[in-house]
Every structure is written in structure tokens, then in C-alpha cells.
Structure 1
Amino acid sequence: MKYTLLALDLDGTLFSSDMSILPRTKKVILDAIRDGLTVTLATGRSFTFAKEVAKELAIEAPLITHDGALVAAQLDHPLSMHKLSNSTVQKIIKILLAYPLRFELQHDPLSIVNYKRPLVDPMKSDSYKMLEYLGTRYVSNRDIVSYLQTSKLEPHKVSVSADTEQTLEEVKEALLAHLSDEIRITNAGFGVEIVPKNISKAYGLKVLSAALGISPSEIIAIGDNYNDLEMFQFAGLSIAMANAPQEVKNRAKYVTRSNDEDGIAFAIQTFFYGDEIMKEARGLGS
């Protein structure tokens, strides 16, 4: 099968553990783009953040950001854009405030957070950690509801993290009990992601592939977390990173090396170039 589109998750997939792109992985991606492979990013992060990553890799295709809520090559000309209404966000926040949580209202170019990030020394931090720091504004729990009422903010997504899994489960139950007709919740990393109803990375990939005239069977999707699973189902070839949770690996067709071992480079060389070098890749599923 000839694959023409590659969708890459960022954290835990394209990024190594120190939030950088390994030199070999970068070279293989640049070579593959030069040789005709269309590459996009499919991430829960903001468009503003993802666009900087795309520049480093010479990616020109529209990007799938905010877990599929925004698909765009340029922010002012999106292929698809969905937001949580201001009234829905206020309902979400009023529920979240009943728990000890950290949350982020993801919006471009600036996201709102209810926790103070540690100060970042620009001389000691790489560009992506600095970009992450500069892309947020702190608003306290005490002021967040009035801020929303005044600003009329309509974010693409709300990211939530907690110190315990039990707290997250209680939060999910409370949110779905009141807002199941308005939101979709997915797990990612150590938290949950709240997006508009029916939105996912798979939705974003569907929008992008239709715009490019590419069949799902021509798509490779590589990821490492639960919010990648719908994308795995949509793409012709799904590949999980070795550092992914076991359930995610079980639901991918193949498993490549970890994000600290050039897993993306090995996958591209095997399935785009046909080098048969990813001998540790094991078939999973049909």
C-alpha cells in the first residue's frame, strides 16, 4: 500500500521526553516531505504552538489542533473550527471549581490557566518550553467566572489535570451528568480533555483528508495516548509508540520504538520507504 499522508501526535510521539525533536527523526521527516509524503500534526495543543513545530519541520499542510477542534494552515483561514460556547464553558468551570484541579482554557493565541507556571529561564529552556510558558495567562479560581462573563471567551478545548485518578473520574462523571449533549471527554496523559460534541482527532483527520483528496487507506497515524484512538480507527495504518499505555498499543496495528528511540523515523523508513528495518514492530489487531 502506498501511503501519502502522515499524521503525527506531538507529546510522547514527535517530542522526546525532554520536549525536543530528535535529530534523526527530524531528518527523516524532512526527507520524506521532500520525497512526496504529506505530513501534518494531530495534537491536543493549540494551533499557535503547533505552527511553530510545523515551521521547524517544513510542514505546509493544514494542522489538526485542539484535538480536532481546529484544522488550519493559517489561523484566519481554517478548514474547520469548533468552539465551546461561552455558556457551556461557564457551566464546565462551575463544575470544575468544586474539585482541586488544574485546568487550561485553550484558545489561540493565548490560553487561560488557573495555576501559576514556574518561571522559565530563557537561557536554560528550549524554545518549545518557552513557547508553552508564553502562550498562557493566569486567572485565579476566584476570578475565572467573572472573567468568562466579561471576556465572552469561547475556547476550543478545556484541559483538566488532577493529582489522583479518582478525582478525574469524579469530574468526568459530574461533567457528563450535566453536559453530555454539549461536550465530549477523552483521556490524555495525566488528565482529561473536554471538546465540543463529536470532535476528535479523527474528525480533524477526516476534514483534512477530504480537503486533500486523500483516502483513509492512504493515511498513517502515529500516536501514544487515548485521544489518538479514534484517529487510529480512521487511518489506514495506525502505529503506537513503545512508550504508549498497553491499551493504546493493543489497538494499533503496529508498535514502533519509543519517542526517545526515534520511533517515528523507524516507522517512516519502514512503511513509507519500505526498508523493512522496523523488525521490532509487531502486528496488532487486523
Structure 2
Amino acid sequence: MSNMNIQLFVTDLDGTLLPTGRDVPAKNIEAVKRAVAAGVTVTIATGRMYRAALPVAQALGVDVPIITYNGALIKSVSGEVYDENYVPADAVRDVVDFCHERNWHVQTYSDDELYFAEHDEKAKGYEAAQVLAGHTVGWDGLKQHTEHVAKLLVISDSAEETAERIELLQKAFGGRVQAVRSNPEYAEVVLPGVSKASGLKKLAAKLGISIENVMAIGDSNNDLPMLEAAGHSVAMGNALPEVKAACDYTVGTCEAHGFAEAIERFVLHDN
């Protein structure tokens, strides 16, 4: 452990850095500040919109590139774009039509704004969870906003339904877009090859940091590619069993500030 030299530390948000919402525990902020003072780049990798992740990055007091939309957009806190992978306009329109025909809730993200056809329970729930407001534009309106679409999100009622929809989307659009599960009810539709792992690899390369000097921490299925790509990986105490099995180390739960523990143990080498 003493020979571990972590230069880039990448964290998931929900269930890792944050117990709920957008307030970062003071203990975690303190750990980040100590790591940064030691010359380490600490950043976020999230499925959230850039604008929804921004307040969290600002709370950490860092101006670094953050990985948002599950890897589709890497952009610094002050607004410098490092990497962008947008879904082509024709694919956006076709996925919207596909969802409309099946009466699925789909929402799109264009130029870091959120759009849905109807302001239904799923739309309201998402706005409340992310602490932001979207635009209700109708089904035709969804197809008007196709510029810089980082992702589309299909929200279903159960894990089973999500799995079925991902299979249908993959069958219909395989190669044009890819559908991935980010939580039991969410199917994210992004450009093929885009993930938190692709974001982490691109960011490390742009910063000139070897993957061996990267540590990632997370708790969920959509963190697995990133945890596997990083030179060193940490699972939260509240992580899924398969996530713990894939990681080098396990720390305390989110409520017990496992994030701060990881920085203290593996980045700062506190005893």
C-alpha cells in the first residue's frame, strides 16, 4: 500500500460521495481538500446532467473536469469542455418515436437542458430527485431539440421492465446507440462505447496520468466498468455484492463517510 501513488481519484455521487440529494457531508469535503493540497486531482463521474453535478463539484471547492452523463460529457467546473460524445439527431428522433409508439416515458437532454413530452409522475419524480426543472414540450417538441444530446433516459416501473426495454432498444438500435441500466428503473441511451470507464480513461489520458495511478470508488452496477478500468478500485460498504467482489478494497458505508476513509487510507496513507 505504501507504494500506491494515486494522482487521480474518481468518485460516483449517489450512495458514494452523497447519502442523498446534493449536500456533501463536511467530512468528505475536508478529505477532498486534503487530497487536493497533496497534489491529487479529485473528480466526479456521474450519470447526472452537468448542471446537476455542478453544485456538488462546487461544494468540493475544486475546478476540475467532471465526468457527466455517464461519460458522454467531460467539462470543467469553470466550463472548459474536455470531451463530448453526442447522440446524432436522427437517432434521437428515432428513439423518441420508438418510445412514443410504446407509450414509454422518455426524456432527452439537449444542451444541458431537460425535456419531456408530458409532465407526468415520472417527470416530477426525476425533477425532485435532481433538484432541477425540465421543459414539457410534447412528443413533437422532443424531436425539435436534437442539438448536443448527451443521452436519453427511459424511466420504467420495475427492474424487470427496464431489462425488457433495454433488450428491445438494443435490438432496434444496436450499433447506433446503446442502452444501459443505471438504476432499477432507468435505461440510459447513449452513444456506443460511452461509459464512466471511457470517461475515466479519456480524462486520465488528457491529464497525462497513467491508469495505474487512478483510483475509482463507487457502489452500483453502472460504476463497475469504471471500477474495473481504474488501476485501483474501492467499493463502498453499502455497495452491491458484485461491486464489492470486483474491487480491490472495501470501506465503510456512505453514512459512515466511507469516501473520506478511502482518501485517508489510500491517497493520503494516514494510519
TM-score, length basis structure 1: 0.84
SS for the counterpart of 2:199 is helix
Structure 1 Cα separation of the partners of residues 86 and 62 of structure 2: 25
1:54 — aligned with what? 57
Q: How much has 1:103 moved relative to structure 2?
A: 3.2
Partner Cα separation in structure 1 for residue 7 and residue 223 of structure 2: 19
Deviation at 1:100, TM superposition (A): 5.6
* Cα distance in 2, alignment partners of residues 75 and 138 from structure 1: 29
Q: Distance in 2 between matches of 1:172 and 1:152?
A: 21
Match of 1:281 in 2: none
Report the Cα distance in structure 2 between the residues aligned to 1:69 and 1:210, rounded to whole angstroms. 16
The 2-side partners of 1:97 and 1:259 are apart by 38
2:233 corresponds to 1:235:
no
What is the match of residue 134 of structure 2? 136
Confirm or deny that 1:111 pairs with 2:114. yes
1:170: Cα distance to partner? 1.7
**Between 68-77 and 214-223, the greater mean CA deviation after superposition:** 68-77
Structure 1 unaligned segments of length 5 or more: list them.
120-127, 277-286
Aligned residue runs from structure 1 range 89-104, under 5 A: 89-99=92-102, 101-104=104-107
Report Cα offsets for 1:245-270 as digits up to 9, x if no partner.
21122111212111111010010010
Percent sequence identity is 29
- Work out which of the residue numbers 249, 260, 267 in structure 2 matches 1:265: 260
2:207 aligned with 1:204: no
Aligned to 2:9: 6
CA contact (8 A) 1:187 1:193 kept: yes
More divergent stretch after superposition (36-45 vs 180-189): 180-189
C-alpha spacing 1:137/1:36, structure 2 compared with 1 (3 Å): same
3-state SS, counterpart of residue 164 of structure 2: helix
How many residues in Structure 1 have an aligned counterpart in Structure 2?
264
- Whether the aligned pair in 1 keeps the contact of 2:23 and 2:56 (CA below 8 Å) is no
CA RMSD between the two structures = 2.3
Q: Shift in Å at residue 152 of structure 1?
A: 3.4
TM-score, length basis structure 2: 0.89
Give how far 1:101 is off.
4.1
Question: 2:64 touches 2:77 (CA, 8 Å); kept in 1?
Answer: no
1:176 matches 2:176: no
In 2, Cα distance between equivalents of 1:249 and 1:185: 24
Distance across 2 between alignment mates of 1:98 and 1:75 = 40
3-state secondary structure, aligned to 1:10:
coil
What is aligned with 2:45? 42
